[in-house]
Chains A and B, each alone.
Chain A
Amino acid sequence: MEFLVGFFTLYFAAIILMCWSVLIKSNPFSKAMSNLSLGLMLAWWLKGCIDSLIKDVLVPASQGNVARLTVLILGLLMFLRFSKGLAFTSKWPLAVLAGVGTAIATKGAIPSMVLAQLTVGSFVGPNIVDNINNIIIWSGCVSTLVYFIFSIERGPVLGPISRVGQVFMMISFGTVFGSLLTGDNVMASLAFMFGDPGRYVAAIGAAIFVAYVVIDIRKKVAPVQKATV
């Protein structure tokens, strides 16, 4: 058992390195890991759905709660999309989903999204920093909205405002991207690679990387002096 745990830990470290190898350039290892993660996610989804189907539909139905089979029938109707003649029935479960979802959402929307918002007395903050923040939030919100208004011609007023909105979006996207790159998940992988036994795999990876770098640099840096007459 311990051998298996050790093996999978090393395998996990190798997976991290394969994922990181995309930083150099796209390669079969990074592509394989990309496919693996997608497949794993779908497999989890499938397992979860089958489990809930058994737990919430088949078991209660076998115990006499036949009404639960309605859900199964509605789900199966989705597959009739593959039949030309019966494809229209695949819209029924979607209609039920949309109807129930809208009803549930609308029921709670009024008190939380409308009435509760009306209780906010003032948008003026208690100190100067809060107020500066509020001004930035308001200007960012309004200018970004203006950027997405395409039905009015950008004149001398709307043009600069939409440009400000564009800058706000660039900053936001940059921040999100940066926080993802230096985020917890990447850092946690790094911590794993510096730990035991990840460091052994990291050492092998580092050796391969150094070899690659040396070859790459030798290719790019021409050692021959160019002489022109």
Chain B
Amino acid sequence: MAQKVEKAEKWYQSASTQEYLMYLSVILLSGMLLINPVTFPLDITQPTIDFVNAIRSIPKGGLMLWDESSFVTGYYTQNQIALYKLFFDQAKQRGVRIIFISCCVDGPMAGAMINKQLEVQDTTGLKYGVNYVNLGWQPGFELVLSAIAKDIQTVTKADAYGTPISDIPMMKGLRTEDINLFAFNCGVSCDPWMRQWVPLHKPILMTGGYSLIAQAQGYIQAGSITAYLNGSRGYVEMERITGYLTMQTSLFEASNIMGPYAILLVIVCNVSHTLQKRKKRRE
């Protein structure tokens, strides 16, 4: 009488254990990079260099407009802090004035984002209403973009804090033509901005996710968009240029390590599976 004994599966051979270990190693690997940031070599692309140069080449005492579309998560991931710092550096060094506004189609959270950013920025030596102004979230999306293009004075009666526009020194007698540079953070297709701002024939800067930059290629090749920041990588490249590294760089490196990890995992799992198969065949 033959007796066949089937060996019980060891705990580490279970599929669910291996799945848990896989997740755990992902968390530990990326967590290590978050705690001890490592700066991997990174080629800085031309659009990012152009982006930073465009901001740095605003004439002395000139004016720029920034349209915010990032939600508070953007503040949380710190991907905008270095950008706002770049704006304020220009304000301090060359007297560039800044108008902050949010025409975001996704709601008033982007207006809250401006408030959060302004809270953490070092505005020493700058005066609200003279060097910069926050017009807050304005409902209407493309209608607001159109109003900006037509006459900045018609966009709103009061700033984000309820101060009448007529009482803000920087806004007195200001015309849309006085704005030297338009920049926007894009959460949806960039078409509305292009439709309203391209006819002004002023430099336009864009920041947005990879897919949105891909959609904007037509405008980029036509020269309608002067320069752009391409997703997280764009922000990290900008941080490398300005030398002001934030958590965004750590997050980028931690995300990047996932690529090689996934490839390694695929190779190791396949090799291991093949070896196990061979072993069984021999037995």
Bind each other? yes
Contact, CB under 8 Å: A225 / B248: no
Contacts of A220 in B (CB 8 A): 14, 16
Please state if B107 and A191 are interface contacts (CB–CB under 8 Å). Answer: no
Q: Does A153 count as interface, using CB distance less than 8 angstroms?
A: no
> A190-B34, A191-B250 in contact; A185/B73 too (CB < 8 A)?
yes
Instruction: Give, as a whole number of angstroms, the nearest-CB distance from A49 to chain B.
Output: 7
Q: Are A228 and B6 in contact (CB under 8 A)?
A: yes
Report the nearest A residue to B252, measured CB to CB.
Answer: A184
A194 to B35, CA, bound (A): 7
Q: Which of B51-59, B192-200, B269-277 contacts A (4 or more CB under 8 A)?
A: B192-200
Given known A-B contacts A190-B34, A194-B35, A217-B17, A52 and B139 have beta carbons under 8 A apart: yes
* Distance in Å: Cβ of B15 to nearest Cβ of chain A: 8
Q: How distant is the Cα of A100 from the Cα of B77 in the complex, in angstroms?
A: 37
Residues of B contacting A41 in the complex (Cβ-Cβ under 8 angstroms): 107, 109
Name A221's contact: one of B9, B138, B149 (CB within 8 Å). B9
Q: Establish whether residues A184 and B79, one from each chain, have CB atoms under 8 Å apart when the complex forms.
A: yes
User: Contact between A104 and B255 (Cβ–Cβ < 8 Å)?
Assistant: no
- Convert B142-166 into 0s and 1s, putting 1 for each residue whose CB lies closer than 8 angstroms to a CB of A: 1100100100000011100010000
Q: Count residues of chain B with CB under 8 A from any CB of chain A.
A: 66
Chain B residues near A222: list those with CB within 8 A.
Answer: 8-9
Whole-angstrom CA separation of A183 from B138 in the bound complex? 29
| A176 and B211 form a contact (CB under 8 A) | yes
In the complex, the number of residue pairs spanning A and B with C-beta atoms less than 8 Å apart equals 152
Check if B251 sits within 8 Å of A188, measured CB to CB. Answer: yes
Which B residues form the contact surface with A (CB < 8 A)?
1, 3-11, 14, 16-17, 20, 23, 27, 30-31, 34-35, 73, 76-79, 107-109, 111-112, 137-139, 142-143, 146, 149, 156-158, 162, 191-192, 194-196, 198-199, 210-211, 217-219, 221-224, 232, 247-248, 250-252, 254-255, 258
Residues of B within 8 A of A23 (CB): 23
How far, in Å, is A205 (CB) from chain B's closest CB?
11
Contact A194–B20 (Cβ < 8 Å)? no
| Contact between B143 and A44, CB atoms less than 8 A apart | no
How far, in angstroms, from A111 to B224 measured CA to CA in the complex? 10
Q: List CB contacts (< 8 Å) of A100-119 with chain B.
A: 100-101, 104-105, 107-109, 111-113, 116-117, 119
Q: Please tell me which one of the listed residues B6, B78, B142 contacts residue A105 in the complex, with CB atoms under 8 A apart.
A: B142
| Bound CA span A34–B137, Å | 26
* Listed residue (B112, B251, B252) with the most chain A CB atoms within 10 angstroms of its CB: B251
Partner of B195, one of A49, A113, A137: A113
Q: Is the CB of B8 within 8 A of A224?
A: yes
Q: Does any Cβ of B come within 8 Å of A179's Cβ? A: yes
How far in angstroms is the closest Cβ of chain B from A158?
25
Q: Which residues of B contact A185 (CB under 8 A)?
A: 73, 76-77
Q: Which of B3, B6, B34, B143 is most buried by chain A, counting CB atoms within 10 A of its CB?
A: B34
Contact A227 B3 (CB under 8 A): yes
Contacts of A52 in B (CB 8 A): 138-139
A194 touches B34 (CB 8 A): yes
**Per-position binary interface string of chain A over residues 13-45, scored 1 when its CB falls under 8 Å from any chain B CB and 0 otherwise:** 000000000010000000000000000010011
Min C-beta distance of B187 to chain A, whole Å? 14
**Whole-angstrom CA separation of A226 from B3 in the bound complex:** 11
Let me know if A60 is at the binding interface, CB within 8 A: yes
Tell me if A213 counts as interface (CB < 8 A to partner B): yes
Q: Are B223 and A48 in contact (CB under 8 A)?
A: no
Measured in the bound complex, the distance between the Cα atoms of B222 and A113 in whole Å is 10
Instruction: State the 9 A-B residue pairs at the shortest beta-carbon distance, nearest first.
Output: A48-B108, A108-B195, A112-B198, A184-B77, A188-B77, A112-B194, A187-B251, A116-B222, A182-B258
Q: A48-B108, A188-B76, A227-B3 are in contact. Are A104 and B143 (CB under 8 A)?
A: yes
